[in-house]
Amino acid sequence: MPLYLTPDLFSAFTKVIAAESTRHGGVSPAPFSSLNLGLNTNDDADNVAENRRRFFRALTGDETERMVASSHQTHGTDVLLAQQAGRYSGYDALITDTPGLLLTVTVADCVPILIYDNANRAVAAVHAGWRGTAGAIVTKTLAAMQQQFGTTANECYAYVGTCIDQTSFEVGPEVAGQFAAAFRQVDPQTQKDCINLKGANRQQLLDFGIPASQIMVSSFSTVLNNDDYFSYRAEHGQTGRMLAAIGLRA
């Protein structure tokens, strides 16, 4: 598997750069092997820097991150209108219509969602853990795009990325109670609730009005496909991080 995969949904749009990294092609040793892109892990900082150079060079041809916008994520629902590159803090979603600016979110079980508004040439990158999902971060991101760019549902294309699968995501009753019954199932062995994060975030896209044919959901799981993706839960917190990225070519 390569350093990253580009969702097929965006392949028809030549102006869009979109990618979801894998754990392959980097220099980090176990348990961060090998393409750990996370800035806040216990991996050696030089390894992470080299991994990030490799990822951005492969994706954009520029390894410097001089046109990358990211945020220290807090599992909240705040949305940043990013108009220039930088490392921000306190936001779990970023939106922009600035050409040449690449938006990124960091994941290792949480859901990355990438959105492209084809009419207004705007994009969004969203990090949705269970808190963000329950707090409707996707809905809030789309509302922010609507306000800032005039985004309408029928012109949006959205990718719900690789994350923990429902069968692997056991939660307690206090978490399960924040999700609709359609996205909960009881594990017959443990009798614990399991949450479908992909389905819950896809539903927010549908509720906004995005046609189902313009939504793609990753078929991979960070747990079931742990050889190819980092999983915080499966690896007991000692693991790397992936990046999901989207931007408009300059």
Looking up residue 118, the CATH number of its domain turns out to be: 3.60.140.10
202 lies in some domain: no
Q: Pick the closest to residue 30 from 222, 220, 224, 236 (CA basis).
A: 236
31 lies in some domain: yes
- Residue 170 CA to its chain's centroid (Å): 20
8 lies in some domain: yes
Q: Please state, in angstroms and rounded to a whole number, the distance separating the CA atoms of residues 127 and 106.
A: 7
Identify whether the C-beta of residue 98 lies closer than 8 Å to the C-beta of residue 130. Answer: no
153 lies in some domain: yes
Identify whether the C-beta of residue 103 lies closer than 8 Å to the C-beta of residue 245. Answer: yes
Residues of the chain with pLDDT under 70: none
Mean pLDDT of the chain: 97
- The pLDDT assigned to 23 comes to 98
Quote the domain boundaries for residue 127. 4-163+213-248
Split into its structural domains, the chain has a count of: 1
Q: Please state, in angstroms and rounded to a whole number, the distance separating the CA atoms of residues 91 and 88.
A: 7
- The pLDDT assigned to 239 comes to 97
**C-alpha separations of 243 from 78, 113, 198 in Å:** 19, 11, 17
Which amino acid, residue 37? L
Q: Please state, in angstroms and rounded to a whole number, the distance separating the CA atoms of residues 185 and 198.
A: 14
76 lies in some domain: yes
For 4-63, write each residue's pLDDT tens digit.
Answer: 999 999 999 999 999 999 999 999 999 999 999 999 999 999 999 999 999 999 999 999
- The pLDDT assigned to 213 comes to 98
- Residue 36 CA to its chain's centroid (Å): 15
- The pLDDT assigned to 189 comes to 87
Identify whether the C-beta of residue 196 lies closer than 8 Å to the C-beta of residue 185. Answer: yes
- The pLDDT assigned to 188 comes to 87
Q: Pick the closest to residue 78 from 90, 60, 68 (CA basis).
A: 90
190 lies in some domain: no
206 lies in some domain: no
- The pLDDT assigned to 18 comes to 98
- The pLDDT assigned to 245 comes to 98
203 lies in some domain: no
**C-alpha separations of 87 from 65, 73, 246 in Å:** 10, 11, 16
- The pLDDT assigned to 112 comes to 98
